[in-house]
Structures are given as structure tokens and as C-alpha cells.
Amino acid sequence: MLSGPTGEVPGVAGGGPVHRAITAEVSRVRDRTPERAPRVLDVGGGSGAWAVPLARLGCAVTVVDYSPNALAALHRRARDAGVHELVTPVQGDVDALADVAPAGGADLVLGHGLLEVVDDAAAALAALTAATVRGGAVSVLVAGRFAAVLSRTLAGRLGEARAVLTDPDGRFGPDDALRRRLDAAALRALVEASGDLQVEVLQGDGVLEGWTPGSVRDGGPATVREVTELENLAAAATPLLDVAARLHALARRR
Ligand SMILES: C[S@@+](CC[C@H](N)C(=O)[O-])C[C@H]1O[C@@H](n2cnc3c(N)ncnc32)[C@H](O)[C@@H]1O
């Protein structure tokens, strides 16, 4: 049986398209400034799903999150991975990011799973941009609208599917935990609206993975590799990328 993406689940992690774009950006920073560790700021970084792997790559990662529980989990995870010296947890809100993160202080700023939960996505994006050095990159990962329409349709929740499709913010109603879901065009427009950022990568995260039957996904390393390769190909394929569970943009600060 096929299980559709929910729109809220993470896509392929290590080896997936987002991972590849991020590691390519880290390599770029290293080439430019080999004398120091790449400086990463992970806003809404939670328990470190991205921060800890980036620290393992040798980045100095500051995680800003307003949840003390998430930061405690991050601390444990970083310690267990032996990279706690490279990870700095900071309790803070993206609305007041300038209070805890210096302007232009990071080579790479992540806002993964953040824009769909904040009140004002444009203001959050402006804060992420201000924290990025000129020539550095902002990476945002946000819930996809059309995956949520498909998954709700397949589940027979047609009213919700219709609402997600037609609501200006892609929400199914007041009980929706997310403030918005985006499609690829809306994400590009949001990221480039201020004129300070130029999108270099726009791709899907979890395009086909969620549709792969469990029996196939459990098929061993060769099958996992095959699914990952297929996912990497689909990530940039229009219109497939627009039905990804999450959409990813990596943008350069002018
Ligand atoms: C969906 S999780 C994403 C975690 C991680 N970035 C990832 O991709 O796995 C969203 C995180 O953003 C944090 N968050 C939500 N609103 C925030 C805000 N206004 N300022 C700082 N952190 C926030 C939450 O506490 C949570 O840890």
C-alpha cells in the first residue's frame, strides 16, 4: 500500500538533495576561508537534526531556538556525537534574532521547519538574512502545499484537501498546527521579495520517498540507495518538486 507524504515529515536525510546542497555550501565556505571553521547559524534548529551532522563536518554551529526542551535534547545529542564543543545552543526567538546573533556573523544560516510556524514569515526571513554575511547563504525548508493536498485526498479528508488547496496560506482550518504551506513559486517569491537574496537552488525534499511502498523501502541497502537516487533526480524535476513534502531553497545574500 502506498503511503502519501504528510507535508510535515522530514525527507531523505543523509545523501538526500537538501543534504547535498548544504554540504556543497559548506565546501564552498571552506574553499573561501580555509583558515577557520565554517560558521553556521541554525535558527529553530530544535534538537539538532541538522546542527549535529554539520558539526560533525567541522562547522561551528550556533543553534537558536526558543524551546529549552529542544535545546536540552540538542546538548545531549551533540555530546553523544562528540561534537559538543562545536555546537552552541542559544535560547532565543527569531523575532529578536539580532539580540543573540551578530549581523553578518554566519556563512550559512538555516531556517528549516521554521517559516511555517512563525507568525510573520517575511520578518523571519529578514532576520535570517541580516545574520548572514554578504556572499553567504540562507537555507530554508518549508512544508509543501500540494503534498498536503494529495495526502489528505488519499486519506479521504476532502474538505481539508480543498481548504489546503484554496486557502491563501495553505491551511486546512483554525486547528491546523502550521501557519502556512507553500508551493515552489510562493517560496521563491517570499525568499526574493526583499531583493537581498537570490535563490540558487529550489528543490523538493521528500518528493517520492513518501510514496514508496514500505515493502520496497525495507528491501535492504541496494534498494535504499535506489530510492535515494530516484529522490535526488525527482528533487529538481518540475512539476514533481512541487508535490514534495517539503520545499527547499538555498539563496545567496547579495
Ligand atoms: C519543526 S521544528 C524544526 C527543527 C529543525 N530545524 C529540523 O529541521 O529538524 C521547529 C523548531 O523551531 C522552533 N521555533 C518555532 N518558532 C520559533 C521562533 N519564533 N523562534 C525560535 N525558534 C522557534 C521550535 O521550538 C522547533 O524546535
Give dist(CA 183, CA 63) in Å, integer: 27
Determine the residue type at 34. P
- Could you tell me if the CB of 49 is within 6 A of ligand 1? yes
- Could you tell me if the CB of 41 is within 6 A of ligand 1? no
Minimum-distance ligand 1 atom for the alpha carbon of 42: 6
Cβ pair 94, 112 in contact under 8 A: no
* The predicted structure's pLDDT at residue 50: 98
∠ Cα 87 8 164 (to 5°): 140
Give dist(CA 101, CA 45) in Å, integer: 14
Cβ pair 240, 146 in contact under 8 A: no
Residue 135 Cα to ligand 1 midpoint, Å, equals 25
* The predicted structure's pLDDT at residue 211: 81
* The predicted structure's pLDDT at residue 14: 57
Candidates 3.30.70.260, 3.40.50.150, 3.40.50.2300, 3.90.550.10; CATH matching 17-143+180-253 = 3.40.50.150
Residue 129 Cα to ligand 1 midpoint, Å, equals 17
* The predicted structure's pLDDT at residue 219: 82
Q: Which residues contact 109 (CB under 8 A, 6 or more apart)?
A: 40, 41, 42, 43, 128, 129, 131, 132, 136, 137, 138, 139
Ligand 1: which of 66, 74, 118 to mutate, judged by most atoms within 8 Å of the beta carbon?
66
- Classify residue 95 by burial, with Cβ atoms within 10 Å: 0-12, 13-18, 19+: middle
Ligand 1: which of 42, 77, 117 to mutate, judged by most atoms within 8 Å of the beta carbon?
117
Per-residue pLDDT of the chain (254 residues; tens, 9 = 90+): 233 333 333 333 457 899 999 999 999 999 999 999 999 999 999 999 999 999 999 999 999 999 999 999 999 999 999 999 999 999 999 999 999 999 999 999 999 999 999 999 999 999 999 999 999 999 999 999 999 999 999 999 999 999 999 999 999 999 999 999 999 999 999 999 999 999 999 999 988 887 888 888 788 888 888 888 898 899 889 889 999 999 999 999 99
* The predicted structure's pLDDT at residue 3: 35
* Residue 102: all three cell numbers together: 551578530
Give dist(CA 105, CA 103) in Å, integer: 5
* The predicted structure's pLDDT at residue 208: 87
- Could you tell me if the CB of 118 is within 6 A of ligand 1? yes
